[in-house]
Amino acid sequence: MPKKWIEFHVISSPQMNHDLERSHFTEIWPYVTSLHLRKKESTYEEMEKLIHRLLELKIPANKLTLNRQTKLALTYQTGALHVGVQEVSLALKNSLYKEGHTDSRTKRAIRLGVSVHSLEEAKIAEEEGADYIFYGHMYSSHSKPGMPPKTLSSLQEICGVINLPVIAIGGITPSRVEELMLSGASGIAVISGILHSEDPLEAVYTYRKELEKYGDIKE
Protein backbone atom coordinates (compact mmCIF):
# COMPACT_ATOMS: atom_id res chain seq x y z
CA MET A 1 0.00 0.00 0.00
CA PRO A 2 1.52 3.37 -1.02
CA LYS A 3 2.29 5.90 1.67
CA LYS A 4 0.35 9.12 2.00
CA TRP A 5 1.85 12.18 0.33
CA ILE A 6 2.85 14.78 2.91
CA GLU A 7 3.32 18.46 1.99
CA PHE A 8 6.07 20.54 3.55
CA HIS A 9 5.87 24.28 2.84
CA VAL A 10 8.35 26.96 3.93
CA ILE A 11 7.09 30.54 3.95
CA SER A 12 9.38 33.53 3.66
CA SER A 13 9.44 36.26 6.25
CA PRO A 14 9.70 39.87 4.98
CA GLN A 15 13.35 40.30 5.96
CA MET A 16 14.32 37.05 4.28
CA ASN A 17 12.98 38.24 0.92
CA HIS A 18 15.88 40.69 0.86
CA ASP A 19 18.52 38.45 2.44
CA LEU A 20 18.58 35.32 0.28
CA GLU A 21 21.90 34.12 1.64
CA ARG A 22 20.61 34.05 5.20
CA SER A 23 17.36 32.44 4.10
CA HIS A 24 19.28 29.40 2.79
CA PHE A 25 16.67 29.02 0.03
CA THR A 26 19.32 27.64 -2.29
CA GLU A 27 20.06 24.85 0.18
CA ILE A 28 16.60 23.92 1.37
CA TRP A 29 14.49 23.95 -1.80
CA PRO A 30 15.18 20.31 -2.81
CA TYR A 31 13.82 19.07 0.53
CA VAL A 32 10.49 20.90 0.69
CA THR A 33 7.29 20.92 -1.32
CA SER A 34 7.31 24.65 -1.93
CA LEU A 35 8.93 27.94 -0.99
CA HIS A 36 6.32 30.66 -0.50
CA LEU A 37 7.24 34.24 -1.32
CA ARG A 38 4.94 36.23 0.92
CA LYS A 39 5.29 39.96 1.29
CA LYS A 40 1.98 41.74 0.93
CA GLU A 41 3.45 45.20 0.51
CA SER A 42 5.82 44.22 -2.31
CA THR A 43 5.23 45.87 -5.67
CA TYR A 44 4.99 43.86 -8.86
CA GLU A 45 8.48 45.03 -9.85
CA GLU A 46 10.01 44.11 -6.47
CA MET A 47 8.54 40.63 -6.55
CA GLU A 48 9.58 40.08 -10.16
CA LYS A 49 13.14 41.07 -9.27
CA LEU A 50 13.11 38.55 -6.42
CA ILE A 51 11.84 35.80 -8.73
CA HIS A 52 14.59 36.59 -11.24
CA ARG A 53 17.20 36.31 -8.50
CA LEU A 54 15.87 32.98 -7.29
CA LEU A 55 15.84 31.60 -10.82
CA GLU A 56 19.42 32.80 -11.28
CA LEU A 57 20.28 30.80 -8.16
CA LYS A 58 18.93 27.70 -9.97
CA ILE A 59 15.81 27.33 -7.85
CA PRO A 60 13.13 25.86 -10.16
CA ALA A 61 10.05 27.98 -10.76
CA ASN A 62 7.82 25.03 -9.90
CA LYS A 63 9.24 25.09 -6.37
CA LEU A 64 7.92 28.63 -5.82
CA THR A 65 4.51 29.72 -4.59
CA LEU A 66 3.50 33.36 -4.98
CA ASN A 67 1.14 35.09 -2.61
CA ARG A 68 -1.65 36.94 -4.44
CA GLN A 69 0.59 37.76 -7.42
CA THR A 70 -1.57 36.06 -10.07
CA LYS A 71 0.02 37.66 -13.13
CA LEU A 72 3.56 36.83 -12.00
CA ALA A 73 2.57 33.26 -11.13
CA LEU A 74 1.22 32.77 -14.64
CA THR A 75 4.10 34.54 -16.33
CA TYR A 76 6.77 32.46 -14.61
CA GLN A 77 4.67 29.29 -14.25
CA THR A 78 5.38 28.95 -10.56
CA GLY A 79 4.30 25.83 -8.75
CA ALA A 80 1.36 27.56 -7.12
CA LEU A 81 -0.53 30.75 -6.42
CA HIS A 82 -1.77 31.27 -2.86
CA VAL A 83 -4.67 33.57 -2.01
CA GLY A 84 -7.18 34.35 0.73
CA VAL A 85 -10.62 32.78 0.60
CA GLN A 86 -12.16 36.09 -0.50
CA GLU A 87 -9.90 36.15 -3.56
CA VAL A 88 -10.23 32.61 -4.86
CA SER A 89 -12.99 33.38 -7.39
CA LEU A 90 -11.02 36.29 -8.84
CA ALA A 91 -7.88 34.16 -9.11
CA LEU A 92 -9.77 31.57 -11.14
CA LYS A 93 -11.32 34.23 -13.36
CA ASN A 94 -7.81 35.43 -14.13
CA SER A 95 -7.31 32.18 -16.06
CA LEU A 96 -5.20 29.79 -14.02
CA TYR A 97 -6.11 27.13 -16.56
CA LYS A 98 -4.18 25.77 -19.49
CA GLU A 99 -5.49 26.92 -22.84
CA GLY A 100 -8.70 25.16 -23.78
CA HIS A 101 -9.37 23.67 -20.33
CA THR A 102 -11.55 25.18 -17.63
CA ASP A 103 -13.26 22.16 -16.13
CA SER A 104 -10.75 20.29 -13.99
CA ARG A 105 -8.05 20.87 -11.40
CA THR A 106 -5.91 18.40 -13.35
CA LYS A 107 -5.93 20.75 -16.34
CA ARG A 108 -4.89 23.80 -14.34
CA ALA A 109 -1.58 25.40 -15.26
CA ILE A 110 -0.55 25.91 -11.63
CA ARG A 111 -1.86 24.87 -8.22
CA LEU A 112 -4.17 27.13 -6.26
CA GLY A 113 -3.80 27.31 -2.48
CA VAL A 114 -6.20 29.12 -0.16
CA SER A 115 -5.78 30.26 3.45
CA VAL A 116 -8.83 29.54 5.61
CA HIS A 117 -9.68 30.04 9.26
CA SER A 118 -12.89 28.06 9.68
CA LEU A 119 -14.79 25.05 8.37
CA GLU A 120 -17.15 27.38 6.50
CA GLU A 121 -14.23 29.01 4.68
CA ALA A 122 -12.70 25.61 3.96
CA LYS A 123 -15.94 24.50 2.29
CA ILE A 124 -15.98 27.67 0.19
CA ALA A 125 -12.39 27.11 -0.91
CA GLU A 126 -13.16 23.52 -1.89
CA GLU A 127 -16.31 24.48 -3.78
CA GLU A 128 -14.46 27.25 -5.63
CA GLY A 129 -11.80 24.83 -6.83
CA ALA A 130 -8.79 25.12 -4.51
CA ASP A 131 -6.11 22.44 -4.76
CA TYR A 132 -5.10 22.65 -1.10
CA ILE A 133 -5.80 24.82 1.94
CA PHE A 134 -3.77 26.30 4.77
CA TYR A 135 -5.48 26.19 8.16
CA GLY A 136 -4.31 28.01 11.26
CA HIS A 137 -2.70 29.43 13.10
CA MET A 138 -2.45 26.26 15.15
CA TYR A 139 -0.20 27.57 17.93
CA SER A 140 0.86 30.95 19.29
CA SER A 141 2.79 32.64 16.52
CA HIS A 142 4.94 35.76 16.12
CA SER A 143 3.11 36.49 12.87
CA LYS A 144 -0.30 36.51 14.64
CA PRO A 145 0.33 38.29 17.96
CA GLY A 146 -2.59 38.40 20.36
CA MET A 147 -4.81 36.15 18.26
CA PRO A 148 -5.97 32.88 19.85
CA PRO A 149 -4.78 29.76 18.02
CA LYS A 150 -7.04 27.12 16.49
CA THR A 151 -7.71 23.82 18.25
CA LEU A 152 -6.69 20.34 17.21
CA SER A 153 -10.34 19.34 17.30
CA SER A 154 -11.22 22.03 14.75
CA LEU A 155 -8.38 20.81 12.52
CA GLN A 156 -9.65 17.24 12.85
CA GLU A 157 -13.17 18.36 11.92
CA ILE A 158 -11.99 20.12 8.77
CA CYS A 159 -9.78 17.21 7.72
CA GLY A 160 -12.75 14.87 8.15
CA VAL A 161 -15.00 16.94 5.89
CA ILE A 162 -12.77 18.53 3.24
CA ASN A 163 -11.46 16.38 0.39
CA LEU A 164 -8.35 18.48 -0.13
CA PRO A 165 -4.90 18.47 1.47
CA VAL A 166 -5.19 20.49 4.67
CA ILE A 167 -1.87 22.09 5.57
CA ALA A 168 -1.46 23.22 9.18
CA ILE A 169 0.33 26.52 9.77
CA GLY A 170 1.37 28.69 12.69
CA GLY A 171 3.90 28.11 15.47
CA ILE A 172 4.69 24.56 14.40
CA THR A 173 7.75 22.92 15.94
CA PRO A 174 9.03 19.42 15.15
CA SER A 175 7.61 18.12 18.43
CA ARG A 176 4.12 19.25 17.37
CA VAL A 177 4.12 17.44 14.04
CA GLU A 178 2.78 14.20 15.52
CA GLU A 179 -0.44 15.65 16.96
CA LEU A 180 -1.12 17.59 13.77
CA MET A 181 -0.69 14.54 11.57
CA LEU A 182 -2.78 12.38 13.88
CA SER A 183 -5.50 15.04 13.63
CA GLY A 184 -5.61 14.47 9.88
CA ALA A 185 -3.34 17.19 8.46
CA SER A 186 -1.73 16.46 5.10
CA GLY A 187 1.32 18.53 5.92
CA ILE A 188 2.72 21.66 7.54
CA ALA A 189 3.83 25.18 6.66
CA VAL A 190 6.67 26.73 8.64
CA ILE A 191 8.21 30.20 8.86
CA SER A 192 10.33 30.98 11.92
CA GLY A 193 10.99 27.36 12.89
CA ILE A 194 13.21 27.14 9.83
CA LEU A 195 14.14 30.58 8.54
CA HIS A 196 14.86 32.05 11.98
CA SER A 197 16.82 29.04 13.20
CA GLU A 198 20.60 29.04 13.46
CA ASP A 199 20.84 26.35 10.77
CA PRO A 200 17.83 26.36 8.41
CA LEU A 201 18.98 23.29 6.49
CA GLU A 202 19.38 21.26 9.67
CA ALA A 203 15.95 22.48 10.78
CA VAL A 204 14.47 21.24 7.50
CA TYR A 205 16.02 17.82 8.10
CA THR A 206 14.53 17.73 11.60
CA TYR A 207 11.02 18.53 10.38
CA ARG A 208 11.34 16.03 7.54
CA LYS A 209 12.33 13.27 9.95
CA GLU A 210 9.08 13.80 11.84
CA LEU A 211 6.92 14.15 8.73
CA GLU A 212 8.33 11.03 7.07
CA LYS A 213 6.85 8.92 9.86
CA TYR A 214 3.47 9.56 8.19
CA GLY A 215 4.21 9.42 4.48
CA ASP A 216 6.44 10.50 1.63
CA ILE A 217 7.25 14.19 1.31
CA LYS A 218 5.77 15.72 -1.83
CA GLU A 219 8.71 17.37 -3.58
Annotated catalytic residues are 137
Vertex 19: Cα angle to 91 and 147 (nearest 5): 55
What is the rounded CA–CA span in Å between residue 136 and residue 34?
A: 18
Q: What share of the chain is helix, strand, coil (3-state, %, to 5)?
A: 45, 20, 35
Report how far Cα 84 is from the mean position of its chain's Cα atoms.
12
Burial letters 153-170, b for 16+ CB under 10 A, else e: ebbbebbeebebbbbbbb
What is the rounded CA–CA span in Å between residue 174 and residue 157?
A: 22
CB 2 within 8 A of CB 175: no
